[in-house]
Structure 1
Amino acid sequence: MKHSTNPSTRHGRGATGRPGRRGRGPAHRIGRTLALVLPVVLVLSGTLAVARVNWSGNESSTSALAASAQDASLPATSLAPQEVLRDKLLMELQEEDPGVALTHLQEAVNGRPSLARHCASIARTLGRAAVRMYGPSRAQSYARPVCDTSFATGVAAQTP
């Protein structure tokens, strides 16, 4: 009877010298880790996706599908509240007079205190527009202490 003297066939190694079943490599460890982690990640992502769905049936909230269905060719024109107020007051200044616009500015700031930090810049803009429409001396006649006399500052900035 002849015994094998080839050392590579002993101790679980094949003829190529690579590890057999006993000595598993790094690919096996990575595969096992993925097999444990991947289902957890999938369950969590599915849970988060389900949590974001509007299940109440309330149509007032906008969904991603409704937002994507809007006309994409229209430019986004969402103005901040202070910009809307400024534009409205500039129209009033042109249609009425600066006094009406300043009164409405003061009322808007009193009714919505969050606009107070924008009051000075709006009043300066109104002052500049008043100078362009009425000239410096007539525009100055409308000045009043709205937003720390910022209207008068706007008039003075436009005066040569």
Structure 2
Amino acid sequence: MTLPASALDQCLESFTAADGNHVKASTQKFDSTGVMALLCQHNRAIFLANMVTAGEKQFYAYTLIAALLHELPECWKVSLLYDVACALQQSLAKWQFMPGWLDRISFSVSIFHAYGHQWVCQLWYHPRKAELWGLSDGEGCERFWSELMRLIPCLRVSGVSILKWTCMY
């Protein structure tokens, strides 16, 4: 099923993180503008991607998914809860970016973010509509970031050399 373009556009407009023009950290002043994480269902980080552009561009999510699928047997299917999973799936279908991914991935939108989406998107992507999610809410990343918030002030103005030195100890 494909969502109407108008519904998809309204979903993307609902979230500032999905807006590539919304700049939270300057790429001229900072080496990194953020970190994107891929977590398992138990809210443990599996992969991290260092973001170096403004906004949560789709290629960061694709990179994390590619890293995960590379590690798993090809016969395994993956279920993905993501804030704008509707946009990821539609992009994969429209541009045929990664052949074979659509057969391996089941997309859903995390609970907290589902209500910011259009009604048709909620009907199709809400995790409570799929039996496999049980009571998982898909908000593990939000909890993960709240655990790491104390690191933000000291790392915010750190360049690559400071970050490398910090990670060594």
Q: With the length of structure 2 as denominator, give the TM-score of the two structures.
A: 0.24
Q: With the length of structure 1 as denominator, give the TM-score of the two structures.
A: 0.25
More strand, by proportion: 2
Flag the structure with more relative contact order, 1 or 2, with Cα contacts below 8 A and sequence separation at least 6.
Answer: 2
More helix, by proportion: 1
**Larger-Rg structure:** 1
